[in-house]
Amino acid sequence: MKIVVLGAGIGGLSVACRLSSLGHNVVVVEKNNSPGGKASVVKFNGYTFDAGPSLFTYPEWLDDVFVFCNKNPRDYYTYKKLNLVTRYFFNDKSYFDVFDDVNKTAKSIEAVSNFPSSKFLKLINHWQLVYQLSEETFLSGKIKFNPPFLKASMKWFLKSGFYSIFTSMAIYNKKVINNNKVELLFNRFATYTGSSPYKTPAFMNQLSVVELCKGAYYPDNGIYSIPKSLEKLAVDMGVDIRYNNQVRAISKENDSWLIKTSKSHFSADIVVSNIDYCFTRKLMGEQFNLPTSKLSTSGIVFYWGVSKTFKDLKLHNVFFSDDYQKEFSQIIDDVIFPDKPTVYVNVSSKIDSHHAKNNCENWFVMVNVPSSLELTSKKSVTKLRDAVINLLSVKLNESIKELIECERILTPNTLSDDTGAYKGSIYGVNQNSLFKIMNRKDNKDKFDKGLYYVGGTVHPGGGIPLALLSSKNTVNQIIKDY
């Protein structure tokens, strides 16, 4: 079969490798001149930053792509497990750490929040059981309302509980946890799907299991080594990657697909789109307009070269805002930039010292904002930047402004231009209701034979691990169909 994959993001490259290893003739067309999409790299003034993702979980799902292709993943990329995963900073300047050992984490949390470690372990044990059932029922493969799926869903439903399905995460956590710091920790996990803890159903607390129980990893040389290793695998598997080819239109003539790009034309028996689902539909000539309220959040990222090292900062750091509820009400309901944002700071030079100059650090500083191309202006970004600098200066007891020696900024607009993220949304449609969670776009098009979707904007969800899993699901579907 001749297969054209649109986009060389992590989902696109992994699906291309898998399909090529099955003997298909695979071409990848990508508008940029390098792989990775959202997971690309930014380099300037002696600093290196991973452009988007920084938290790497489930390395086994990445390994699986190489194993599927009969290759040893260790010949392509290596990684280490983090002992200290994330440091969470609170208003009163206290912080606790999440470790690779859940018992140690429970003790660290108890020491700072007075939340009994036994209660924490009981809670996480419950979500672990729910998560396990979810992984088996919803993540691997297609959501099909047939008897085996309904039986598995019933089992999941009984474990998760009625209350957690029809109550928001934040309300549930207030009732069950009732400890401000621990509630903030759990509520934060809603944002890993670009959703709001005040809207998404409480069973999404199960996402906490990924960081709190399964741990986090760091690929040597940073996240960009993931798309680079997939690119190398693709070349070894005989995939033809065409960079600098922007797809302009996707159409079907009889049984053959036609892809028009900025440079060329490609025909195919099967098309797999790794381009954001909404953009793919536009490229097919559909009038497509999804409002911001349906989309996952976007982000503003400040890439800062900082001329000092901070021993209190770790690889992953979260600084909570004064008023988390107000922050999300501004992002989701008012559709404006938050005036007091929660700030995530990633410092990869803590591990890869060559990512920053001597005695300096590379700060990737991210805040959540609505997915909209109308909010970004010099004034709005400067206001947000001031709020971020103010928060970090107070929390770190240091005037941060003077330490920023160079800067680049990612906005919803640049994310949309650079990677095709629809209105800058990171994960496509949000998961702010049960309906949206259950109706995430399938990997196979409902109407057009030979059209498939892969990546973080379709089933089973956003983020590197799920984009990798979607490549497995998509290939299984293609094997079944052909």
Site for ligand FAD, rule CB under 6 A: 6-12, 29-32, 37-39, 52-55, 246-247, 274-275, 279, 299, 301, 366, 415, 419-420, 426, 455-457, 462-464, 467
Residue 379 makes CB contacts below 8 A (sequence gap 6+) with none
Distance of CA 155 to the CA centre of its chain: 28
Fill in the amino acid letter for 374.
Answer: E
The residue among 392 and 464 lying less far from ligand FAD, judged by its C-beta, is: 464
Minimum CB distance to ligand FAD, residue 275 (Å): 4
The 8-class DSSP code of residue 144 comes to -
Q: State how far the Cα of 361 lies from the Cα of 28, in Å rounded to an integer.
A: 36
As a whole number of angstroms, the distance between CA 129 and CA 141 comes to 20
Alpha-carbon torsion (320, 323, 327, 328), positive or negative: positive
What's the rounded Cα separation, in Å, for the pair 260 and 249?
Answer: 5
CB closer to ligand FAD, 10 vs 212: 10
For the bound state, the minimum distance from the C-beta of residue 37 to ligand FAD, rounded and expressed in Å, comes to 2
**Residues facing 348 on adjacent strands:** none
Between 6 and 109, name the residue whose CB sits nearer to ligand FAD.
6
CB 14 to ligand FAD: min, Å: 8
* In 332-482, beta strands by DSSP E: 343-346, 361-369, 404-410, 451-453
Give residues with Cβ within 8 angstroms of 184, minimum separation 6: 88, 90, 320, 324
Contacts (Cβ under 8 Å, ≥6 apart) of 316: 54, 55, 85, 86, 87, 216, 344, 346
CB of 261 to ligand FAD, least distance (A): 7
Those residues whose C-beta lies under 8 Å from the C-beta of residue 441, and which sit 6 or more positions away, are 277, 428, 429, 453, 457, 458, 459
Q: Please identify, using beta-carbon distances, which residue of 221 and 457 lies nearer to ligand FAD.
A: 457
Structure token pair of residue 375 = 């909010």
> Nearer Cβ to ligand FAD, position 126 or 228?
228
Write down the least CB distance from residue 209 to ligand FAD, Å. 15
471 burial type by CB count under 10 A (0-12 exposed, 13-18 middle, 19+ buried): buried
Q: How far is the CB of 58 from ligand FAD (least distance, A)?
A: 9
345 vs 366, beta carbon nearer ligand FAD: 366
Q: Give the residue with the Cβ less far from ligand FAD, 184 or 421.
A: 421
For residue 10, which of 44, 56, 42 has the smallest C-alpha distance? 56
**Is the Cβ of residue 134 or residue 153 nearer to ligand FAD in the bound state?**
134
In 3D space, the residue among 62, 63, 203, 214 whose CA is nearest the CA of residue 133 turns out to be: 203
Distance in Å, CB of 35 to ligand FAD, minimum: 7
Closest by CA to 443, choosing from 416, 395, 476, is 476
CB closer to ligand FAD out of 39 and 123: 39
Burial class from Cβ neighbours inside 10 Å (0-12, 13-18, 19+) for residue 154 reads: exposed
Beta pairing, strands 451-453 & 270-273: parallel
Q: Which is nearer to ligand FAD, 292 or 419 (CB)?
A: 419
* Rounded least distance, CB 46 to ligand FAD, Å: 22
Smallest separation, CB 246 to ligand FAD (Å)? 4
User: Least distance from C-beta 280 to ligand FAD, angstroms?
Assistant: 9
Q: How far is the CB of 122 from ligand FAD (least distance, A)?
A: 28
Q: Quote the radius of gyration of the chain (alpha carbons, Å).
A: 22
Nearest CB to ligand FAD, comparing residues 177 and 468: 468
